[in-house]
C-alpha cells in the first residue's frame, strides 16, 4: 500500500493538528491522544520541529499547561503568539488563557476540540 495510505503515526498526528479549529488551541498530549498515540507528546513536538508545511496550524499547539512550548523570546515564540492573537486567542505571559474559566457562552471554548 502507499505509505500514506497506511496509518503512520506521523500522518495521524498531522491530521489531528489540522483538525484543530481556528481560534482554538490544543496540547501536545491531547493531539497525540487524538491521533491514537497516547504518551507520544514528544513525537508531536518532533514533528512540529521538523514540519515544513505552511498550512499546518502549528501555532495552535501548546503545552499541557497552556504555555508556549518554544523558548520565550525566540522568533518562533513571537510568531506563535502573533498568530494566536490574530485568531482571537488571548495570550499573556507567554501562555494561553486557560479554558478553566471560559467566557460565558463560549462553550468550553478552545482547549478541546474533542469535547465529545
Q: Looking up cell 495521524, which residue turns up?
A: 12
Residue numbers of the site for DNA (CB under 7 A)? 9, 27-30, 39-46, 48-49, 51, 58-59, 61, 63-65, 69-71, 76, 80
CB of residue 84 vs DNA: minimum separation in angstroms?
Answer: 11
Residue among 115, 108, 112, 83 nearest 20 (CA): 112
User: Can you tell me the distance from the alpha carbon of 83 to that of 23, in angstroms, rounded to the nearest whole number?
Assistant: 10
Of 23 and 67, the one with the shorter C-beta distance to DNA is: 67
Q: How far is the CB of 9 from DNA (least distance, A)?
A: 7
- Write down the least CB distance from residue 46 to DNA, Å: 6
d(CA 45, CA 70): 10
Amino acid at each position: 500500500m502507499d505509505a500514506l495510505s497506511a496509518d503512520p503515526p506521523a500522518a495521524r498526528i498531522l491530521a489531528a493538528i489540522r483538525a484543530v479549529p481556528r481560534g482554538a488551541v490544543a496540547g501536545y498530549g491531547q493531539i497525540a491522544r487524538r491521533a491514537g498515540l497516547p504518551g507520544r507528546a514528544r513525537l508531536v513536538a518532533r514533528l512540529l520541529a521538523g514540519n515544513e508545511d505552511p498550512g499546518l496550524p502549528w501555532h495552535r499547539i501548546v503545552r499541557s499547561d497552556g504555555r508556549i512550548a518554544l523558548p520565550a523570546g525566540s522568533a518562533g515564540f513571537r510568531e506563535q503568539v502573533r498568530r494566536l492573537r490574530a485568531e482571537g486567542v488571548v495570550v499573556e505571559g507567554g501562555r494561553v488563557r486557560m479554558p478553566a474559566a471560559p467566557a460565558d457562552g463560549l462553550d468550553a471554548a478552545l482547549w478541546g476540540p474533542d469535547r465529545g
